[in-house]
Amino acid sequence: MSQFARSPVTAVLGPTNTGKTYLAIERMCGHASGMIGFPLRLLARENYDRVVAMKGVENVALVTGEERIIPPKARWFLCTAESMPLERETAFVALDEAQLGADPERGHVFTDRLLRARGREETMILGSDALRPMVRALVKDAEIIGRPRFSTLSFAGARKLSRLPRRSAIVAFSAEEVYAVAEAIRRMRGGAAVVMGALSPRTRNAQVQMFQSGEVDYLVATDAIGMGLNLDVQHVAFASLRKFDGRRQRRLTVAEMAQIAGRAGRHHRDGTFGALVDDGPNAFTPEEMLAIEGHHVPPLERLYWRSGEPDFSSVDALVASLEERPQHPVLTAAPQAIDLIVLKRLAEEDWVRARTRSPMMVRRLWSACGLPDFRKLGPDPHARFVGRIFGHLSEGAGHLPHQWFADELQRLDLMTGDVETIAGRIAAVRSWAYIAHRADWLMDPEHWAARTRGVEEKLSDALHDRLRQRFVDQRTTVLLRRIGAGAADLPVDVGSDGVVSVDGHDIGRLNGFRFEVSPDTTVADKRLLIAAAEKGLVGELAKRAAELAVASDAELSLAAEPGSVPRLWWSGLTVATMTAGPTLDRPAVTLDRSLHVLDRAAQAAVRDRLAAWIAQETARHVPTLTALAALARDPAASGALRAVAASLTEVGGIAPRDGFDAMLTPLESDDRRRLRKAGVTIGTLDLFDARLFRPAAAAWRAALLAARDGRPVEPLAPVGASVLPAGQAAWGYRRLGAQAVRVDLIERLARTVHDARKGAAPFAPDPALATSMGLKPDTIARLMAQLGFRPSAVVDAVPHWRWGGMRKPTPPAPKPAVRPGNAFGALADLGFDR
């Protein structure tokens, strides 16, 4: 400590994470009294809480533009640089981040404090090493002490948002950009805390607590993060390297980059920094990387200055003193700040001139102009607001009207709205909080300070809630933390209703073996939730697979909706589809994709159970197909019988007879008997089994054919329909002109007609059966012709028919002989004939 005693002014300079602020707090608390000026209200509040813990609340003061806590016996003051009560003498004074004297907007304040703020016993100037030449030029008696960084800061390259490591801070330079990045982080990584200088301390602390406690692993901030906010950040990613400095859009200086990047790695834990892209204007240059890693920041060549002791003899004298040029070569006149712009605007008003004829009123005018433009309204609207305030301060008792203050505060005491709306209200409340802490502006400043603090706290809580709702998806955050663990470690619960949750957060529903994400899930989150389900539902899926492998017949069913592939259901949920197998009656079982997560043994057990059920149901509903398939495979059956059985099986047990006549001719009587036993009727026009027209049998037959052919199930005829319009003809119906008639009913008609005829004599069939079936005269005529009858005569308007015999199919014409040596003979051999 003796090194600090050699000089009343000590400049402690160095990069971030060198313990400068900690040292200053320690030195201040070693004195009987002290004061430190910080660049941000947030920092002042943070360190106020630290010193209160050490010295007691009755001994510590907080002085900022919008918040003043000054106990009667306060001895240690934590302030923003603008609010430092320089008229108060203290044993110790420190200025933090003094290099901000080079900032065009606020630099003159820090330069003034660097030049004029002194402690009775000790003064400390804290800042970047870039400040070294300025301290030497302006504070010649100061002792400069360098502080090395506690940890290593290294460049980690460019990483996309989706690939940033946990405990990363992403820095942007506007509220809009911060919100956009935070929204992207929420979608990809579960959520982020948000820190901006415009946030109230209460909101900022709540957001930081989310990050520090591990509730979220990412922080999105403005460059306010570079001003001494101590956070558990391991990596700093720059969303941009350009910012608007109040006058123009420009690239960050190396010093600014280093200040922000230095937030990575605290105390003795190393940190990294990088950008989101590796080329373009938002990528680091090699020179910038090396300078930041080596803490080689360019030295400052000038600081902004404005008179800290203005002349209040008149408005003109005040303006002139504030525009005075500095005499020192390293100082340059500060650009016009908002307070000076407002002063010059109001000085043009005659009524203002009339009310500022004394130094006291000039001082009062300048005090009003010092109201910051928290709402970022711009010079003209802000000047009108300040003008109204000064109008009240310069008349009557010099106080703002009670009702005006109350009405404005009441208008802002509203917790509804989105993030931007509530943030706007907080900015407006900050103006009234600033006013409430001017003791001579209100009749009851303590009352209104408490009221504004109460409204700000409620709005701050509401803003924190909105930020959390908008930028934090707790479900995704939980999953991202858990997803890397083993499947057994993922705490997945499946409710009786199938709802799947992880740590109490619903992620979807398990329908059978298929996991369906929650309907409120974004597209970006779906992949994550499915991955979580695959990891965490292994045990539940294995349990369900074991239940399916021993499922009862009542739990299984066939879904054969027209237009869809034939599917197998377990308790109403799809678990497999039927596909082509070795024969029509033995389709293959293809498990649904949702069952692919099962191991091979479980899949095989499920497949075997479903195959056994199909065989059983096929034998029950379409026994003809089972019997025909058995005949086709029976080595004891004749070749002719096996050929008929195989061919009839392949067409589903129903076929026109004319395509089988050649195969039926060689059948022996025993072969025909075995076909009848299998259920096959060898009809006049068709081969069929009438049982195949039952609803369940028709559905199974259609499903088996669709599975064999790899196509959707064809529409079935309406249950019980005997006749269909020709355009709606289905399997098992014979087209007869405008109508299609079911083949088993055609066979009944054929037998009725043959029973009614007497040899070849003309006769009139009984119309009762045909009429009951709804057959039209043209349909009857076509059917009679196909059955071998010829028109005879019409007697009493009733058509008569005579037997003419079945027409045999016309054999194909023989191919013409090809002369040897004919050039087209080879084409004939290849089948290229007409």
pLDDT for 254? 92
pLDDT for 475? 61
**Region 212-217 average pLDDT:** 89
Which secondary structure element, helix H or strand E, spans residue 678, and what is its range?
none
Q: For the segment 796-834, what is each residue's pLDDT rounded down to a tens digit?
A: 778 888 888 876 655 544 444 444 444 334 333 433 332
Q: How far apart are CA 538 and CA 544, in angstroms?
A: 10
pLDDT for 476? 61
The helix, strand and coil proportions of the chain, stated in percent and rounded to the nearest 5, come to 45, 20, 35
Nearest to 315 by CA among 360, 358, 355, 362: 362
User: What architecture does CATH give domain 2-146?
Assistant: 3-Layer(aba) Sandwich (3.40)
Q: Which of 84-88, 187-191, 335-339 has the lowest mean pLDDT?
A: 187-191
Give the rounded percent of residues in the chain with a pLDDT score beyond 70: 90
pLDDT for 822? 43
**Region 594-606 average pLDDT:** 90
505-511/514-517 β-pairing: antiparallel
**Region 581-595 average pLDDT:** 91
Question: Are the C-beta atoms of residues 8 and 22 closer than 8 Å to each other?
Answer: no
Fold of the CATH domain 153-293? Rossmann fold (3.40.50)
Half-sphere exposure of 783 (CA within 13 A, CB side): 29
Rounded mean pLDDT of the chain? Answer: 87
**Region 677-700 average pLDDT:** 91
Q: Where does the pLDDT of residue 473 fall: very low under 50, low under 70, confident under 90, or very high at 90 and above?
A: confident
**Region 246-257 average pLDDT:** 88
pLDDT for 559? 92
Q: For the segment 70-123, what is each residue's pLDDT rounded down to a tens digit?
A: 999 999 999 999 999 999 999 999 999 999 999 988 999 999 999 999 999 999
pLDDT for 824? 35
Taking each helix axis as running N to C, give the angle between helix 419-436 and helix 445-471, from 0 to 180 degrees, rounded to the nearest 10: 160
**Region 190-209 average pLDDT:** 87
Residue 190 has pLDDT above 90, yes or no: no
Q: Where does the pLDDT of residue 532 fall: very low under 50, low under 70, confident under 90, or very high at 90 and above?
A: low
Of the chain, the end-to-end C-alpha distance in Å amounts to 113
β-bridge mates for residue 509, sequence order: 499, 516
Q: Where does the pLDDT of residue 515 fall: very low under 50, low under 70, confident under 90, or very high at 90 and above?
A: confident
Q: How far apart are CA 56 and CA 52, in angstroms?
A: 5
- Provide φ and ψ at 329, rounded to 5°: -65, -25
pLDDT for 833? 34
Question: Are the C-beta atoms of residues 740 and 700 closer than 8 Å to each other?
Answer: no
Q: What is the DSSP letter of 110?
A: H
pLDDT for 269? 86
For residue 787, what are the contacts with CB-CB under 8 A and spacing of at least 6? 684, 685, 749, 750, 753, 806
Q: Which of 19-28, 274-283, 475-484, 552-561 has the lowest mean pLDDT?
A: 475-484
Question: Are the C-beta atoms of residues 363 and 312 closer than 8 Å to each other?
Answer: yes
Q: Which of 293-297, 493-497, 762-766 has the lowest mean pLDDT?
A: 493-497
Residue 711 has pLDDT above 50, yes or no: yes
Q: Where does the pLDDT of residue 9 fall: very low under 50, low under 70, confident under 90, or very high at 90 and above?
A: very high
Residue 368 has pLDDT above 90, yes or no: yes
Q: Where does the pLDDT of residue 490 fall: very low under 50, low under 70, confident under 90, or very high at 90 and above?
A: low
* Range list for CATH 3.40.50.300 in the chain: 2-146, 153-293
Query: Could you give the 3-state DSSP secondary structure of residue 161?
Result: helix
Locate tokens 């409120």: which residue?
A: 520
Q: For the segment 732-787, what is each residue's pLDDT rounded down to a tens digit?
A: 899 998 999 999 999 999 998 888 888 888 888 887 877 888 888 888 889 889 99
pTM over 0.95: no
β-bridge mates for residue 656, sequence order: 686
Strands (E), 473-606: 492-494, 499-502, 505-511, 514-517, 556-559, 567-570, 573-583, 586-591
